[in-house]
Amino acid sequence: MATTADFKNGLYIKYNDKPCMVVYFQHVKPGKGPAFVKTKLRNLENGRILENTFSAGMKIDLINVERRPYQFLYADEDGFNFMHEETYEQITLPKDVVENSDLMKEGQHVEMMFWVDEERCLTCELPTYVTLEVTYSEPAVKGNTASTNALKEVTLETGAKIMVPLFINQGDVITVNTTDRSYGQRV
């Protein structure tokens, strides 16, 4: 059991029976009245940011969170199947737990965050950049754009569709930023 005096950015706590991470906190001691702690908490199950005010000295429950390396094996009707890279244990996650799952190809390394006490997967994160091949691209016609930052839609080997510059062609290998689904560079 901890108190609000133990707050720091990145601390994992249980708030309203949900796993949360402290994103921001500020201890406030007004001239009149008791001290309190203003916080911004990220719900680890859905990613929402919650704002809450705790009384100073209030007891909070800490949770034990662990990051583990996994490798994506394949997808089926039950969800996505992964293998732990050290123990070779296999798990299946529902499709809604994995963000940007259409950028994930077989053999992709991911990092999962587990709530150790309940042995439950909270998030599955792809690396910041993934390298994928362009399987379909409309040819760009010179002179049919008015701006210098013209983009076109392409289909990647995983079936994902993203916007890229006009010089990218079918068969090119590119990097894609998984946080905002933007084009990185041609490899």
> What is residue 156's predicted lDDT score, i.e. its pLDDT?
92
Cβ(54)–Cβ(2) under 8 Å?
A: no
Domain with CATH 2.30.30.30 in the chain: 2-62
User: Domain 129-186: what homologous superfamily?
Assistant: Nucleic acid-binding proteins (2.40.50.140)
What is the model's pTM? 0.78
Region 131-135: what's the mean pLDDT?
A: 92
In CATH terms, 2-62 corresponds, of 2.160.10.10, 1.10.286.10, 2.30.30.30, 3.30.70.260, to: 2.30.30.30
Whether the predicted pLDDT of 104 surpasses 70: yes
77: which residues sit within 8 A by CB, 6+ positions away?
A: none
Encoding tokens for residue 85? 């890279």
Cβ(172)–Cβ(183) under 8 Å?
A: no
pLDDT in tens, 37-88: 999 999 988 888 999 999 998 999 999 999 999 999 999 998 999 999 999 9
CATH architecture of 65-125: Beta Barrel (2.40)
pLDDT in tens, 153-170: 999 999 999 999 888 888
